Structure 1
Amino acid sequence: MADKGSHTSGAAGRAPAVDRPTQLRNVVLVGHSGAGKTSLVEALALATGAVNRAGRVQDGTSVSDYDDIEHRQQRSVQLSLVPLEWDGIKINLLDTPGYADFVGELRAGLRAADAALFVVSAADGVDGATRMLWDECAAVSMPRAVVVTKLDAARADFDQMVEVCREAFGGENPETVLPLYLPLHGGDPGPDGEPAVCGLVGLLTERIFDYSGGTRAERAPDPELRPALEAARGRLIEGIIAESEDETLMDRYLGGEALDVKTLIQDLERAVARGSFHPVLAAAPPADGSRHGIGTVELLELVAAAFPSPEEHEVPAVTTPDGRPRETLGCDPEGPLAAEVVKTSGDPYVGRLSLVRVFSGTLRPDAAVHVSGHGLADRGHEDHDVDERIGALSTPFGKHQHPAAKAVAGDIVCIAKLARAETGDTLSAKEQPLLMRPWEMPDPLLPVAVEAHSKADEDKLSQGLARLVAEDPTLRLEQNPDTRQLVLWCMGEAHADVLLERLRTRYGVQVDPVPYKVPLRETFGSAAAARGRHVKQSGGHGQFAICEIEVEPLPAGGGFEFVDKVVGGSVPRQFIPSVEKGVRAQLARGVAAGYPMVDVRVTLVDGKAHSVDSSDAAFQTAGALALREAAAQAVIHLLEPVSEVQVLIPDDFVGAVLSDLSSRRGRVLGTEPVPPGGRTVVRAEVPEVEISRYAVDLRSLSHGTGRFSRTYARHEPMPPQLAAKMRETAEHQH
């Protein structure tokens, strides 16, 4: 905290060696896209001396140089780690993407961190998705602070943003969300004609921290600032002592006693570390020629002094790989090894790179470890229970990796060329294998069908997709048996674009998106009888087979039944299975629009054979012809899959969601409020044809605050007009 003494910073681009968890702070930056998270990370790196004035490490690359795709798209698309040093503390900053499609990267950052820094733009405010993330952090009591950025934007108002944050994050007790500093205005006017922010007013220390001269200068406040300072200071003190463990402080304060600043700062730090008080700070980028951006020193002091070390963060529960419970672990460098792969990425030079959080024990280079994981087999991620030897350890900085001698409990480190481990896997000692409880990962709900661009791409496709799946647990790979399509299930359009771009640039595989096919089915809507006649004579042995069948629909889910009612041997016994085989083959191909046929009973009632020209193949063909002939005389229904959908949304959007589901032929089953209030679950049954893009549409409809899940319920007949369109489309395709 401010005025606590001198500080030191680390060598450019290199974080200090760490021997104890108390020397660590793991902090995840959270906020919507464009809030300024990456700019804040670069300003903090500059303040610690990790980069030079231009925001560059020693070889000229940027601290934010992680992925060429990020530079092309001008936005973060993956979790990145920036280790810094301040006052002998190693601060691992985890910069997360703000765009909703990359929520898997955000959840990985939350898993690896012990505290969260919510970055809010004074120009844009707090969106609904950020509020929901705050609630998630609150549910696990993760300590949080708020940083207001872009104070130089037109119409930016810090006081107004504080009130917005209090309303959004304070819940039933907004007095737990209060500023530690007020912006100091002066110097040249900003875009709105008002004096620009040139420093901060410390509310507890009652000191001015002036950045207008290019360096951070401290002085006493001007007399005209006193009224605003004292009002905000009194409110802050009351907020701090309300959360204090010393119950006498409030009585002493209300009794007129002047509380010692050191006592207040200590109480503030304890309340922040417990997650019961959430300070609001201000930050602005460095001016030309300045090393310190406004608020960077104050923020680093808060993180180092008030955010908890890993020792204060509960280690996730562990079991043996076969599920037997184990004792609770602590963050102890001498304890059993328990580490987790929180991110996997591919590097064109070093290959697979795994970002690992060590929760217990100490990880050393060239150690033999056990890889266990991880319960995502339904997404194409195989479970692991193997031994592997790790290589060198390193800490990342931009595109560079600095060697690390070890990683103690609480630290985050990179491991190159882990051949088997994927995101979410546990690394433990060979002689004492463990499995950590996995973190919650959202379901990918946007299907993107693809096919290889060329024969050369097809040869490399499976390997490239396997690497993508290993890197990204939010990707699900499906080879649909009904439509014979290769489908990538993604979080959204931006996620899909990044995946296809990585596939092309990193793994040299080009694919073309194709229209996604919903797996429809066909069935008979009425009974019919028909003859299948396959008679050909072309010299030598001919082909002769005639069969007569009756077809009738079965109830939904009835599958397929084949009944033999042939009498008198009109169809020889050895050819009856041939008829069934031909019928089954035609059922798989469909009879109307090329979709598999289900829920029918086919009865073979009669037929004819020839002593020489009849054969297995002939009767297979006759059986298929008979089914097609029967279909031509009957009503054929197209069956579409129907899903039960659960939509979780803020109450403000319930009406819009209900209306939208109705327009998608949805049947609403009910709505239920979600405790503690403010949100509702809408349950409905909706045809899958209507919700293939619902992941994108719901996000737009609910301003990014809605979530949904879906479960297959059944197939049911499609409305005749839609079925006619589907048949028309199928005819054109063939």
Structure 2
Amino acid sequence: MGDKAHAHPGAAGRATAADHPASVRNVVLVGHCGSGKTTLVEALALTAGAVNRAGRVEDGGTVSDYDEIEHRQQRSVQLSLVPVEWDGIKVNVLDTPGYADFVGELRAGLRAADAALFVVSASDGVDGSTRMVWEECAAVGMPRAIVVTHLEAARADFEEMTRICAEVFGGDDPDAVLPLYLPLHGPEGPDGHASVTGLTGLLSRKLFDYSTGERKESEPGADQLPDIEAARNRLIEGIIAESEDETLMDRYLAGEQIDVKTLIEDLERAVARGTFFPVLAAAPAAEGARQGLGTVELLELVTRGFPTPVERPAPRVTTIDGEPRELPPCDPDGPLVAEVVKTSSDPYVGRVSLVRVFSGTLHPDETVHVSGHGLADRGHEDHDVDERIGALSAPFGKLQRNLTHCIAGDLACVAKLGRAETGDTLSAKGDPLLMEPWKMPDPLLPLAIQAHSKADEDKLSQGLGRLVAEDPTMRLEQNQDTHQVVLWCLGEAHSDVALERLRSRYGVQVDVVPHKVPLRETFAAKSGGRGRHVKQSGGHGQYAVCEIEVEPLPGGTGIEFVDKVVGGAVPRQFIPSVEKGVRAQAAKGVEAGHPLVDIRITLLDGKAHSVDSSDAAFQTAGALALREAAADARIHLLEPVAEVTVVVGDAYVGAVMSDLSGRRGRVLGTEQTGGGRTLVRAEVPEIEIGRYAVDLRSLSHGTARFRRAYARHEPMPPQVAEKVRQQARNG
């Protein structure tokens, strides 16, 4: 595995449709922003012959020139697929964004893949977000390997980085995280830094020199053997510890020389099972070179050590009615079950869906059933419709290469799925099925927007609908209380991309406005009011008088209306009119323009005129009475309070609790959740946590996560309430 004693004869070039799941590998690249994932993808494509030495495919274009926003921001913001071929194996390389705001794209990549390559920078180390993704992969038993990049950096240290990876990723078994190769260094430069020119294969005891731009094999010198043997012995012990052959360790300790072929086979099985995690090194090819350092070894690891789609369990599948459905594992002849893992819009072909096929075979121009995904709370419509798909293709940057079919275990882009959204299931028209959705993070940063002009207003609804169809981590809210359109995002970068896509892709210009929290008003004490609406200006007049009493009720009660009129002072037919009037005024508010809640309004007395009284007159009188009662009473402003739970590393618990207290929060308690993390429970006014998604990430260095849920409305402190009233008075 990546340790062959001969140079690889070359690459098979561009990937086509696979003919059997055993000839497919799906691997996702994971790592923090700037770790070198996209550069590594380009280096792998060059080594595999999918691009030329200038980094371009035969048809033009490059691996990374997919999204115009990525060009402007100089970072990946979406999942991309680059299929290449090596040793007759189709390798679907899924490149994911490293920035935390685009974790939804990362989760989609994890769903579509069968193994993960964790890309870490030799100069930057491992960040908290990468550790958390490692734990997610461990929880589902996903096979993993580690690639160390940026070996050319002045402070890069492969050995130290390997030790850190073993400590961070190995947990209780650091010997399960070991290098397969050691770097070969050239002569020191003027700065005292020696560049990495090749690799030493520990199992084969061979040197692989990349200094000429192509991998060349040689034997180590006598002075190099002691260091090789020490690292080799540790690697062998780590492999044997994971071997299914229980006699192997005894034989090794007894001094038997274990055959390299046996060791490689055991290594491959341990990697595929997700119990051993090899560390490799890689670097992009120099200008004019044909192979990047370590790329041959990496491709051999992927094709020989990572599992085939047949070896990985598929997500749970049910009928549309929820009945469990057992499917043969990754069978191209089985029932069709595929999943949309990404949705994007192309200005020429329209909506394009990246699909992972888990069972059956997908063909162009066939009719499939599209099943909804259960994300209606995020503005994504549930649906069950039949659709005729268009062409199948394999993406490569901006290019699409047509495919004749897509079998179970493979990925392809599907055109013209007008209704399908990310997370939807595609199945046979006569046998509709539904896959269990993958876990998506909750968008917790609100972005209130409004159309910039009348022309934009006409296009806004359609643009927003297409935007959320592409991104299930985004939630669209039409707030009935504040009358705002709110896009809930994962962070500032996520919201920036959303605005840019609305403008450049859908032609909608919007303005960002302050996000409003739905406040309420209530009476602090009992009060009374009299409403008199009398107009005599010729013709039919208006006459209505009513007297009411208002008293506060417990939170969450709403509005009660009680009729205590005696003697017919207010005719029976006008009692509902008074109620309608006071409820309408309550909905408008009586002080700062927020709905009035949790009060009992009692109609005590009134007057009517036999000719001039009417329904409209008593509605107006009821509203006037409520306003007069409010003028003589102390009104509380009620603010929504959220239940907040924060899971954070133990090192940041104190800072998080202090920050929550500074937001007028009440910390209710803490509890250990394992893995060096603590769960903090608190109640915090929602007006104080509008930007908490951003602030918490900064406070915890990206290692904390939080959830929020509405708890109740409660009175706002007087000094805060006065600021709100002043803002209302100023318009």
1:187 is displaced (CA, Å) by 4.3
Cα distance, 1:8 vs structure 2: 6.0
Residue correspondence of structure 1 range 429-440 to structure 2 within 5 A: 429-440=428-439
2:698 to 697, 700, 704: 700
Which secondary structure state, in structure 2, belongs to the residue aligned with residue 237 of structure 1? helix
Runs of 4+ with >6 A deviation: none
Distance change >3 Å, CA 544–CA 512, structure 1 → 2: same
Alignment of 1:275-314 (within 5 A): 275-314=274-313
* Structure-1 residue corresponding to 2:109: 109
Aligned to 2:68: 68
Displacement after TM superposition at 1:62 (Å): 1.3
**After the TM superposition, which of the residue ranges 145-154 and 280-289 deviates more from structure 2?**
280-289
Write the mapping of 1:357-396 to structure 2, written as runs, cut at 5 A.
357-396=356-395
Q: Deviations over 1:494-553 (max 9, x none)?
A: 101101110111111111110000111000010101111122233322322211111111
Q: Which residue of 2 aligns with 1:126?
A: 126
* Structure 2 match to 1:409: 408
Question: Could you tell me how far 1:10 is from its partner in structure 2?
Answer: 5.6
Does residue 723 in structure 1 map to residue 702 in structure 2?
no
Q: Does 1:46 align with 2:53?
A: no
Question: In the aligned structure 2, how far is the partner of 1:64 from the partner of 1:194?
Answer: 30
Unaligned runs of 5+ in 1: none
1:32 counterpart = 2:32 = yes
Equivalent position SS for 1:291: coil
Match of 2:630 in 1: 631
Shift of 1:178: 0.3
CA distance in structure 2 between the partners assigned to 1:197 and 1:314 by the alignment:
39
> In the TM superposition, what are the counterparts of 1:543-692 in structure 2 within 5 Å?
543-675=542-674, 677-692=675-690
Q: Is the 8 A contact 1:10 1:84 kept in 2?
A: no
Q: Measure the CA separation in 2 of the matches of 1:588 and 1:287.
A: 69
Q: Is contact 1:530-1:629 (8 Å) kept?
A: yes
Counterpart check, 1:257 vs 2:248: no
Secondary structure of the structure 2 residue equivalent to 1:224: coil
Deviations 1:221-271 (A, max 9, x none): 122211211111111111011101111211121111221111111111111
C-alpha change, 1:8 and 1:208, in structure 2 (3 Å) is closer
Which is further off, 454-463 or 243-252? 243-252
Task: Tell me the alpha carbon deviations over residues 312-345 of structure 1, each in whole angstroms, 9 at most, x when there is no partner.
Answer: 0001111101101112441111111110001111
Structure 1 match to 2:153: 153
Q: Distance in 1 between matches of 2:110 and 2:700?
A: 24
> What do the CA deviations read for 1:40-70 (whole angstroms, capped 9, x no partner)?
0000000011111121112431111111000
Tell me how far 1:143 sits from its aligned partner: 0.3
**Contact (CA 8 Å) 2:329, 2:359: kept in 1 or not?**
yes
Q: Deviations over 1:117-167 (max 9, x none)?
A: 000001110001101110110111100000000001121100000011001
Alignment partners' CA distance in 2, 1:413 and 1:508: 28
* Seq. identity, %: 75
User: What is the rounded CA distance, in whole Å, between the counterparts of 1:466 and 1:541 in structure 2?
Assistant: 51
**What's the secondary structure of 1:617's corresponding residue?**
helix
CA distance in 1, matches of 2:304, 2:123: 29
Q: Which residue of 1 aligns with 2:499?
A: 500
Code of the residue aligned with 2:125 in structure 1: it is: G
Q: How far apart are 1:6 and its partner, in Å?
A: 6.6
Paired residue for 1:485?
484
Superposed CA offset, 1:546-573 (max 9, x none) = 1111111111111111111112222222
CA distance in 1, matches of 2:290, 2:129: 33
Amino acid at match of 1:223: A
Q: 2:461 is matched with which residue?
A: 462
SS of the residue 1:222 aligns to = coil
Runs of 5+ in structure 2 lacking a partner? none
Deviation at 1:711, TM superposition (A): 1.1
- 2:4 equivalent in structure 1: 3
Separation in structure 1 between the aligned mates of residue 300 and residue 422 of structure 2, nearest angstrom: 32
Question: Is the Cα–Cα contact under 8 Å of residues 187 and 198 in structure 1 kept in the other structure?
Answer: no
Alpha-carbon contact 1:46-1:291 (below 8 Å) kept: yes
Shift of 1:76: 0.3
Aligned match of 2:89: 89
User: CA separation in 2, counterparts of 1:10 and 1:175?
Assistant: 33
Which aligned pairs between 1:510-549 and structure 2 lie closer than 5 A?
A: 510-549=509-548
Contact 2:7 2:217 in 1 (8 A): no
Evaluate the alpha carbon distance shift between residue 645 and residue 141 of structure 1 in structure 2; reply closer, same or farther with a 3 A threshold: same
Residue equivalent to 1:55: 55
How far did 1:9 drift? 5.5
User: CA 1:8/1:390 → structure 2, altered by over 3 Å: closer, same or farther?
Assistant: farther
Change (3 A) 1:408 1:4: farther
Point out the more displaced range, 192-201 or 516-525: 192-201
Contact 1:8–1:87 (Cα < 8 Å) also in 2? no
Separation in 1, partners of 2:186, 2:9:
29
What is the CA RMSD across the aligned residues, in angstroms?
Answer: 1.2
Task: For 1:329 and 1:560, locate their aligned partners in 2 and report how far apart those are by CA, in whole Å.
Answer: 58
| TM-score using structure 2 length | 0.98
Give the 3 Å change call, closer, same or farther, for CA 385–9 of structure 1 in structure 2.
farther
1:452 aligns with 2:451: yes
SS in 2 for 1:238: helix
Q: Is the partner of 2:727 in helix, strand or coil?
A: helix
**1:176 match:** 176
- What SS does the aligned partner of 2:585 have? helix
Deviation at 1:610, TM superposition (A): 2.3
Which residue does the alignment assign to 2:269? 270
Is contact 1:321–1:434 with CA below 8 Å preserved after alignment? yes
2:16–2:394 Cα contact (<8 Å) kept: no
CA drift of 1:619 comes to 1.4
Q: Structure 1: which amino acid aligns with 2:272?
A: A
Change (3 A) 1:183 1:7: closer
CA distance in 2, matches of 1:512, 1:596: 26
By how many angstroms is 1:597 displaced? Answer: 0.6
CA distance in 2, matches of 1:155, 1:368: 56
- Residues of 1 paired with 2:165 and 2:223: CA distance? 27
Change (3 A) 1:539 1:11: farther
Q: Which amino acid aligns with 1:3?
A: K
TM-score for the superposition, normalised by structure 1: 0.98
Mapped to 1, the partners of 2:641 and 2:328 lie a distance apart of 45
> In structure 2, how many angstroms separate the alpha carbons of the residues matched to 1:235 and 1:524?
75
Q: What amino acid maps onto 1:103 in structure 2?
A: V
Is the aligned partner of 1:23 residue 2:23?
yes
DSSP-derived class of the 2:58 partner: coil
Does the 8 Å CA contact 2:518/2:639 hold for their aligned counterparts?
A: yes
8 Å Cα contact 2:391-2:414 kept in structure 1: yes
